[in-house]
Amino acid sequence: MGSAWRFNAVNALKESRVAEIVASKQAGAPRGIYSPLSIDRFYFGPGSVRENLANEVDRHGIKRAMIVTGKTLSTKTDLVDQLRDVLGARCAGVFGGALQNTPTASIMAGVALARDLRADAVISLGGSSPVDVAKGIALVLAEGNDWERMRPRFVYPNTLEVPKLEKPKIPYIAITTTLSGSEFTHVVGITHEDERRKIQYVDPQVAPKAVFLDPLMTLATPHDLWANTGVKCLYHAIESNYSVLASPPSQTACLKSVSLVNEHLVHSLEHPDEVAPRGYLQIACWMAVFFGAITTWSGVGHAIDHMLGGRLNIQHGVAAAISMPPVMDFNRKAAAPQLAAVARAMGIDTVNMTDDEAAAAASDAVRALIKRVGLPSRLRDVGAAIEDLEPLARDSFADFPLWTNPRHINGPEEILEILKTMY
């Protein structure tokens, strides 16, 4: 791929290998590179959208912004009307066709409307589906829809080729209503319907110029969606904490995120009109992804969840609820100290436990939380067939979040064993 850049493990580390980082940490000397994504501004707190959105749009010289959202928010809430009111003439129109797991058809429909409207920016309203559709629209408007040219190539364990996508993208602003975390990244998860696969496209230019974390915008979010994206947030924090690219800053942020989710998720579901717990959970999501996952790249759990979304159209948060405890158990052999820290962040007294015992307690605590918020725990409960497991394992092994998993994956057959425990 002549237009691609190639790296082993991480481009910034040149010829360094993930194994070298692991070895240095085992020797007791922290080492690595922490390279956060460039997002200009984060606005957080009740009323932050109404107070700051217009000025943020003006700061970028935006005249014709297109709002990108889903059917529920555009037809069953007044949130779009609230944004129109704030934006005034700066709003060129609304695309309400963002679909779950971001099929290419949804992106192309949004691209067509953006061209008709002569949109000079996109503003997502919602969770990961509007976020990824908005990013996808910005990507295709600039680069076209030659998906094969833009697709990253990953060969386990540590070779990744990412095409250079250098054409200027229109500005993107994110207003989040869930705890999915996609708004903090430069990755676009797109489902190719013909392949039944979800591919992660990478372009720093599609990262948002600004992110709004206004808990008032979450009050209309359905109970189940809030619950499953809260679990997705927890998964981001846990996998980032034990990634081989974890650093002291990322682990500090991720463990605080675990603590905030443990403290506030159930309460926010039992008291949905209380704004403060929702605000703290938005902060937890920010910490887990922007300071964690985007610099550490997660692990095998996220690779599995991407494929569950692409093949079976399972929501990422539901996939996380099913995969997280078995993946934690699988990784315990290589990441017991990190999982013991998760146990402590969840309020478990580990003083008289070994790291392995504390890690097992963390898995049990996560299982209990998932049960308490009412999410499924088995693949068979969400429509998966036993015949799906082998292609899911094969495709997961080709997904690049795999390369930072703390335990070496010997092949698709090991992922298949994890999937069997999930089934």
Is the per-residue pLDDT at 8 higher than 50? no
Give me the chain's average pLDDT, please: 94
Q: What is the pLDDT of residues 400-411, one digit of tens each?
A: 999 999 999 999
Least Cα distance to 255 among 346, 367, 356 occurs for 346
* Matching residue, tokens 């013909």: 194
Report the percentage of the chain scoring pLDDT > 90.
90
| Phi (first) and psi of residue 231, to 5 degrees | -70, -35
Q: Strand (E) positions, 152-219?
A: 153-155, 159-163, 172-176, 187-192, 197-202, 210-213
Give the mean model confidence (pLDDT) for residues 70-95.
98
Domains in the chain (CATH in brackets) are 41-218 (3.40.50.1970), 222-422 (1.20.1090.10)
Strands 172-176 and 187-192: unpaired
Give the mean model confidence (pLDDT) for residues 262-269.
99
For residue 19, the model assigns a pLDDT of 55
Least Cα distance to 308 among 196, 148, 188, 406 occurs for 196
* Matching residue, tokens 């099929």: 103
pLDDT bucket at 286, cuts 50 / 70 / 90: very high
For residue 24, the model assigns a pLDDT of 57
Q: What is the pLDDT of residues 219-262, one digit of tens each?
A: 999 999 999 999 999 999 999 999 999 999 999 999 999 999 99
Nearest 5°: CA angle at 100, between 390 and 409? Answer: 30
Residues ≥6 apart with Cβ < 8 Å to 385: none
For residue 345, the model assigns a pLDDT of 99
Is the per-residue pLDDT at 29 higher than 60? yes
Contact (Cβ atoms closer than 8 angstroms) between residue 327 and residue 301:
yes
How far is residue 11's CA from residue 241's CA, in Å, rounded to a whole number? 21
